[in-house]
Every structure is written in structure tokens, then in C-alpha cells.
Chain A
Amino acid sequence: MEKNTSCFFSNSSPNLVITCFVAFITIILVRFLYVIYRTGKPLNKRTSQQTLSTLIVLGSGGHTAGMINLLLVLQKDRFTPRFYIAAATDNMSLQKARVFENSLVDSGAKGISAEFMQIYRSREVGQSYVTSVWTTLVATAHALWLMIKIRPQVVLCNGPGTCIPLCVIAFIFKVVGIRWSSIFYVESIARVKRLSLSGLLLYKLQIADQFFVQWPQLQRKYPRARYVGCLM
């Protein structure tokens, strides 16, 4: 008798594990398809008093200038608290962002809240591909850590490679149910005929809720993009 019961238990344990595993995978798959379905669909109406925590990805060169240009026309009391992220080796972007935020305080705007963070780069220019595997893993882990802390409701990015791990993690958060976010990508004004690598990835993977381009040639080539003209 006892031998039979012990056999019963030892047989059912693997079955239980497999059942749980399959159920888990199915739930994730269903959730994944739901997120794909809802990506790009506008959110329900909200009152103007509501605020959305916003992640702003900065990049060297014209990226930050372009982002600040966009932030100037967004209502700061709706998109708050604001989290600025720049690559660790990019010294000027966070400084520009601080100057921008200080100018908001100076002009008497209330309810301002901003934080400034740096993220490890996946790969430096010219770095060997072998060491890049490790640094990309480190950068992704760092991105995950920052995203868990921030859990933004809105993600704004305009091209730098730093935005890819952050956007992918934001998408995963949507699937896993950690935080629903709306991801907005504005392709850099310097991209007239071809998308940047970041833009191409986000466009093909359909991760961004809204994908904006600034030149008509790109809109013809990538029909799911929205042409908004030059922003600068």
C-alpha cells in the first residue's frame, strides 16, 4: 500500500510541474499578444489634472537638443515626475537637461520634479565585439535596474542606442504587468532617407506606440510611421 502511494506522488510531481509550466507559458503568450494588440491604440480619456511619470532618453550631439525642443511644447505639469537618462560617457546631455529644468523653475512653474541618471553603454565606438557581449549584458542589467526604479508611464526617445534596452524592458514590463507605458519614438531630424538602427529596430519590432518621422521620404518608405514635419 505505502509503496503505491509513494509511487503515485513521485509520478504526479513532474506532471504538476509540466502543467504549471505550460499554463505559465500560455498566460505569458496571451498577455504578449494582448500587449501587441493594444500597442499603438490610444489610451482612455483622462482628466487634465492627472500626471504621468515620464522617462526621457537623451543622446549625444543633436539628440538632446531635439528632445529639449520637444519638451518645450509639452505641458510640464502633465508629464511629471521626469526622469532623464543619458549614456555614462555623455557629459553634456544631462547638463543641458539640468539647464532646461532650472529654466522651468526660474519661470515660476510649479510642481516640477526631475531626476537625472546615467546608464552604461552597451558598446563604445570601436570596442571589440567579444568584450561587447559582456558590456551589453552589463548595460542591459543596468537598464533593468533603472527601469524597475522608475517604472515610467511614458517613454520619450529620439534615436540614441541607449533607448533600445530601455524600450525593450518597458515592453516586457507591459507583458509581465509591472507597468503599462506609452512609448513615443521621434526619429532624429538628421534621418531623411534611412532610419537609424534604433528606429529600425523599434519600427520592425512594433514596440513603439507612436513612431514619428520628420521627413516625407521616410514616411513613404515606412508607412506605419507618422510624418510630422521638421520639429526644429
Chain B
Amino acid sequence: MGEARDGVKVKRVVFVTVGTTCFDALVKVADCQEVKDELYRRGYTDLLIQMGRGSYLPAKSTGDDGSLAVDYFTFSSSIADHLRSASLVISHAGSGSIFETLQLGKPLIVVVNEDLMDNHQSELAEELAERKHLYCSRPLTLHQTIASMDLNSLVPYTPGDATPVAKLINRFLGFPEES
């Protein structure tokens, strides 16, 4: 948390996203006092929640009383701008959200939805956490993850490349190699 010379507080936004899913457990826990206090303690000023198809509505707050400013919305056609202006992203374990965030180089905590049947999503989150590209958490352990995270220890993710597949497909179909 820092103040510029003209007294305006530097905004450090935490962006929470559930993608196109319904993940009330994450929205609820992001809105709970424990987590909000922890985020404030770690120097964040704003909490913006994209709540998707969920039914739990967070409590909006202007944050003037020395706490986190809280706002939310359901969907937007592209969350890229929100991701870009965030200092920390807390996301559901969807691959789209994960890779969009990693490609922008933003620190990321992935929260796995334990209510999903056949939770294959956790495989991806755990693998990337093992490679130290993000932190992986469950709703009930989110505040501990926030308290203990060291964002400097995260390894930047090198974006993947689809050209090898394109080459293989072209070669299979008999198209000539690109010059």
C-alpha cells in the first residue's frame, strides 16, 4: 500500500473470477471477513469479484473506512482488461482463466471447486502449482494461502506454442512445408 505525493492511494486490485461457472463457495469465501482482512493486510486496496452464474451476492463496499473496497459483476464479454489491471488474480480452476492470467504474467491463486463431480480440473491446477507457476488452494484454505504466499517465488509461465501441431497436421494432410 503506498500513497502518491498528491495523497491518492495506489490501487492494488484483487480480481476474483469464476468464469462461466457457478462457484458460490469461492465468491462467499472471497467476501468473508477473514479473507478480506488478510488481503488488506497484504496491501491490497480493492476486491473485484466476477461471480458468473452464482446466486450469492457479495456486499459492496467503498472501502472508505480503511478496509477493502468491494465490487462485483456477473459476466463480461472479456475479462482481459480486468486481469490486466489486477495485482492478484484468484480464479476457479478453468483452463481458460488460468492460461489467460498466466500469459499476462499476473500472480495467480487457483481455487479448486470441490463440489464438481469428477474433478479433473484439479489435475491442471496441481500440476502448474508443482511447477511453481501459481498457488493452488481450496475454498476453506484460501485465507491461509493468502497469508503465506510469496509471490516473488512464482516462476513466470512461458506461453505454449501451437505451431508444432499445425506442422504435424499439415504434413499429415500432404501440404508442402512452409518456406
Q: Which residues of A contact B (CB under 8 A)?
A: 42-48, 50, 52, 60-62, 65-66, 69-70, 72-75, 78, 92, 154, 182, 184, 186, 188-194, 196, 209-210, 212, 214-215, 226, 228-232
Tell me if A231 and B165 are in contact (CB < 8 A). yes
Tell me if A232 and B121 are in contact (CB < 8 A). no
> Does B25 make an interface contact (CB < 8 A)?
no
Chain B min CB distance to A204 (Å) = 18
Contact partners of B5 in chain A: CB under 8 A: none
Q: Which residues of B contact A (CB under 8 A)?
A: 19-21, 94-96, 99-100, 103, 120-121, 123-124, 127, 159-166, 168-176
Tell me if A92 and B20 are in contact (CB < 8 A). yes
Interface of A, helix, strand, loop or mixed by DSSP: loop
23 A-B contacts, Cβ less than 8 Å apart? A43-B172, A44-B174, A45-B174, A46-B173, A61-B19, A61-B21, A61-B95, A62-B95, A66-B95, A75-B175, A186-B165, A189-B99, A190-B121, A190-B124, A191-B120, A191-B123, A192-B127, A215-B127, A228-B164, A230-B160, A231-B161, A231-B162, A232-B103
Chain A min CB distance to B148 (Å) = 25
Tell me if B123 and A52 are in contact (CB < 8 A). no
Contact partners of A232 in chain B: CB under 8 A: 95, 99, 103, 159-160, 162
Tell me if A194 and B120 are in contact (CB < 8 A). yes
Contact partners of A45 in chain B: CB under 8 A: 174, 176
Chain B min CB distance to A181 (Å) = 11
